[in-house]
Amino acid sequence: MAAVTVAAVSGEDMYPFNLHHAQKPVFQALVDARARYGGSRPAVVDGDETVATYDTLVMASLALGNALRKGTSVGESVGVMLPTSLGTVIAFFALSAFGRVPTMLNFSNGAAGVVSALRTAKVKRIVTAHKFVEAAKLHDMVGELSQKAEIVYLEDVKEHLSVFDKAVAALGKFAPNFVTQGPASSFVANFAASLAGKQPVYDRPAVILFTSGTEGEPKGVALSHFNILVNIEQARNHIALYPVDIMFNPLPMFHCFGLNAGVLLPIMLGFKTVLHPTPLQPKEIARRIREADATILITTDTFISQYARAGNEGDLKNLRLAVCGAERVRDETRQLLRRKSAIEILEGYGVTEAAPIAAINQPGANHPGTIGHILPGMQVRLEPVEGIPNAGRMFVKGPNIMLGYIRPDRPGVIQPPKDGWHDTGDVVHIDEDGFISIKGRLKRFAKIGGEAVSLAVVENCASALWPDFSHAAISLPDGRKGEHIVLLTTNPDAERVDLVGWAQNHGVPEIAVPKRIIYVEAIPVLGTGKTDYVKVEKMARAEKPAALS
């Protein structure tokens, strides 16, 4: 069967916005936002309630950036290992202002994962903070990383800011472009290169992030300034966002959703973002959402259900939107939120490679169980998958698609997607109205007796039967049927016979019922909130079949 290409929009509707708005460096976009919304306008609220205005962001970024650029070169990748905080926002803009490439390090992956990232992106310097290392108990990790890269602490840099660094900040308040593009900055080399007909600045790497590593060693993803800024324009034209909105962002900034959607988008669009250093403090987060009068929450199904359960009555009442990604939103979560408040959950689909938003539901056109429509300016191509009818493997293309991967076996080399198409690895169905339904990752289908079974469906069945517990399904080799399914669950009373009965009563074929059920105290998750299927598989393999349900 031939591939089927589905174009989301075409002709004059392809770009219902001005692409010129995205043809600039990210720091220039910050400067433009300050001019548009006012330097005294609050932009970021930190976890300790410190408020930073647009003037603060610009001046602090220039002072820090001028200090950090010493000993590095334009285009060099500089590691950032910090929590979701104002310090991280300033460090990001500081590096970007002088042409360095912030490389966001996922410290939750452990020392081995970070060392792999350093090697992949050819990072020689890491920016972090004493306070963060102390709070997160990362002394051993930092000790190991110091053997691979120079460790720079923000507190030390701030304490030793020179008179010139401070003068740069003062001048930058009135003439930021002179500071970053004038004679005092090596960023002029970038500017000259673009004049010489080479790649323009906005098409160069703005940030390097890493894939989640749910299915193997993380790859670097190089996003350009244009990728990031055009995705913000796409989102603005897809969802109604207002200057009076207040974003609440507890997601890690080493994740594309937490960085681009939770920080850069609200800053560029003129509304405040409230940051929380970790998504793992549900009661504290629910309280801060109420106190901040937040109207938009970016989160995942796992986290928002925790916030709704842990919070007091009314903590989430001011939220008008909860934008959920990274995992499917369960029906149980929607029902819980419906009982607690009038929040509208907008389920969407994002991947780091798309900077990150590729599709999302919309208020007034919200179809639960789908990820909504593809964003304007993007195309979708489906390729048939054997054994999975009425669906296909999804490829996406558009101006927000990454510059390319940086793979561990080719450090520092950006490998662009073939013909601009990114293979998401997800199997989807698109209905006649353009709504996209995720059937599962191609790697998350089990082949049993020649039939394809979605492991996501297995987890959905378990969640429907045991909604108060967490579940994860994987497939393991089976000498007789090719593969068999194993379910890990936090329900100590889970029995296979109950799942068989539920499947029969709801029209689910028994082939989708796991062969084995294993009780675990907790389902392992990554720092992004996604299930860590690498660890899940190790846990399943470690169990002896004779001891299982």
The pLDDT score that the predictor gives to residue 188 is 41
Distance CA 268, CA 32 (A): 8
User: pLDDT at residue 227 above 70?
Assistant: yes
The pLDDT score that the predictor gives to residue 547 is 39
Q: 449-547 sits in which CATH class?
A: alpha beta
User: pLDDT at residue 191 above 50?
Assistant: no
User: pLDDT at residue 310 above 60?
Assistant: yes
Domain 4-429: give its CATH superfamily.
ANL, N-terminal domain (3.40.50.12780)
Question: Could you tell me what percent of the chain has a pLDDT over 70?
Answer: 87
The helices-and-strands tally (H runs, E runs) of the chain is 19, 26
Distance CA 183, CA 549 (A): 71
Distance CA 333, CA 360 (A): 18
**147-165 per-position pLDDT tens digit:** 999 999 999 998 887 776 6
CB atoms < 10 A from the CB of 442, how many?
Answer: 16
Average pLDDT over residues 82-88: 97
Strands 220-224 and 404-406: antiparallel
**313-336 per-position pLDDT tens digit:** 888 888 998 888 777 787 787 887
User: pLDDT at residue 16 above 90?
Assistant: no
Ordered by start, the domain boundaries in the chain are 4-429, 449-547
The pLDDT score that the predictor gives to residue 189 is 41
Q: What is the rounded (10 degree) CA torsion for 395, 399, 401, 404?
A: 120
User: pLDDT at residue 3 above 60?
Assistant: no
The pLDDT score that the predictor gives to residue 5 is 54
Question: Out of 229-233, 239-243, 446-450, which region has the weakest mean confidence (pLDDT)?
Answer: 446-450
pTM for this entry: 0.84
Residue type for 406, please?
A: I
Average pLDDT over residues 182-211: 66
Distance CA 487, CA 500 (A): 13
